[in-house]
Amino acid sequence: MPLARRINSRDFIELENKYGAHNYHPIPVVLQKGEGVYLWDVEGKRYYDFLSAYSAVNQGHCHPKIIGALNYQASQLTLTSRAFYNDKLGQYEKYITNLFGFEKVLPMNTGAEAVETALKICRKWGAERKGVPAAQSIIVVCSQNFHGRTTTIISFSSDPDAKNNFGPYTPGFVSIPYNNFPALEKALENKNVVGFLVEPIQGEAGIITPADDYLPKVAALCKSKNVLFMADEIQTGIARTGSLLAVCGNCTCKGQCERQAATYARPDVLILGKALSGGVYPVSAVLCDDAVMNVIQPGQHGSTYGGNPLASAVAMAALEVVKDEKLAQNARRLGKIFRQRMQNLSDVCTLVKTVRGRGLLNAIVINDSPDSSTAWDICVEFAKNGLLAKPTHGNIIRFAPPLVMNEDQLNECCDIIEKVIVNFKKA
């Protein structure tokens, strides 16, 4: 009998192409195993992960402590629905609210659901506490935002791919330029504004970092105008940018986050997802104080899986890893080294136009048209050389390795990036 041909990458790619919706355009590698900062494809080739599942895997792939919590809890109890209490949810709620300094949490599953939850809380708060009739309330957002894929969220997207032909859209949103404080001041002159939703660093837009004083000024203005400041930290949060949250900015707590520094721009509503579970399970959350959260009463919002015991156990373990392994401090330290090395590269190589970011959420802008395939082609070369990254918005390459990386590994990755870019020839 002839030996069956071994199934290879091409076969798996064909399967996805044939049977899956074409709503993504992946780099052509087929991954099979992950551990820490590494991924392996089905042929056994090893890669450094420089995307971390869009910053969901900050704690590294298959972190033993998180997988341990998952396995244990999976063998005890996974889902009860919120029709009943369970013995993990309350412990998790106490842990996460203490850690981030809010009085209450509302647990959901995906990032988009958490954003939706925040928007609903904000509108209800506007109607019941601020006295803005729900039909007239306005939430201010920023252009180039990314907050997820639901119909309401894409209603205020400025990305035609995300938005076109998915209408009719949800009304009640006004978009202003990002990192533009006067534009916010102007928008908040409208008494019907109940909230401002913003990414502390715009991730999908290409790691756009605002001025250091932008978020503190935003927080103060929102407070004075009685408008809820809602920070979407789904990508920036959980140590990614060198502090527990990006709104902690350059505060002096060195990632320990007592959050006392003047640069801490405390949001009224904090939205978390992605790394909240270390990439192990979909877990998201909305945190705020009682004065806001208490507008939600039984029956008014929920989710079958939200707050399930498995998610609660996984999220607690994932947050403990961040603290125990000092991942914020590591991201802060390695981020400086990374940007310095990329800056050195940019100084000698015209292909790299800009280097920017904070902590281990960084990007380089490739010196070519956003419509060119240069950034994509470079990422394909990175993959051939054992490093996985993906372009965002055409000519921008985001670099976001797991935060458990060490300095030697980071330097090896910088060597790969330099080598590929210096030797890159346009097709």
State yes or no: residue 110 binds ligand PLP (CB under 6 A): yes
Q: What is the torsion angle, in degrees rounded to the nearest 10, for the CA atoms of residue 228, residue 234, residue 236 and residue 240?
A: 140
Active site residue 146: yes
Query: Where does this chain touch ligand PLP (CB under 6 A) — which range of 106-114, 161-169, 388-396, 416-424?
Result: 106-114
Q: Is the dihedral of CA 161, 164, 165, 170 positive or negative?
A: positive
State yes or no: residue 232 binds ligand PLP (CB under 6 A): yes
Least distance in angstroms from the C-beta of 293 to ligand PLP: 20
State yes or no: residue 52 binds ligand PLP (CB under 6 A): no
Cα 343 to Cα 349: distance, rounded to the nearest angstrom: 10
Active site residue 274: yes
State yes or no: residue 240 binds ligand PLP (CB under 6 A): no
Complex with ligand PLP: residue 119 or 187, whichever CB lies closer: 119
Complex with ligand PLP: residue 121 or 352, whichever CB lies closer: 121
Q: Is the dihedral of CA 145, 150, 153, 157 positive or negative?
A: positive
Place of tokens 């707050």: 307
Residues 389 and 51 sit within 8 Å (Cβ to Cβ): yes
Q: Which residues pair with 397 in a beta bridge?
A: 364, 391
State yes or no: residue 111 binds ligand PLP (CB under 6 A): yes
Cα 324 to Cα 331: distance, rounded to the nearest angstrom: 14
Among 86, 137, 209, 235, binds ligand PLP (CB under 6 A): 235
**By C-alpha distance, which of 49, 55, 36, 37 is closest to 246?**
55
Cα 244 to Cα 140: distance, rounded to the nearest angstrom: 25
Of the residues 232, 268, 338, 382, only one is catalytic, namely 232
**By C-alpha distance, which of 199, 235, 233 is closest to 54?**
235
What is the H or E stretch that residue 96 is in?
helix 89-100
Among 49, 93, 116, 199, binds ligand PLP (CB under 6 A): 199
Of the residues 274, 382, 390, 399, only one is catalytic, namely 274
Give me the 274-303 binding string for ligand PLP, x by CB under 6 A, dash otherwise.
x-----------------------------
Contacts (CB under 6 A) with ligand PLP, residues 122-151: 146-148
Burial classification of residue 361, based on how many CB atoms lie within 10 Å of its CB (0-12 exposed, 13-18 middle, 19 or more buried): buried
Active site residue 225: no
State yes or no: residue 210 binds ligand PLP (CB under 6 A): no
Complex with ligand PLP: residue 54 or 92, whichever CB lies closer: 54
Least distance in angstroms from the C-beta of 272 to ligand PLP: 10
Complex with ligand PLP: residue 111 or 306, whichever CB lies closer: 111
Report the interface residues with ligand PLP, using CB under 6 A: 54, 110-112, 115, 146-148, 199, 203, 232, 234-235, 273-274
Instruction: Kindly list the catalytic residues.
Output: 146, 232, 274
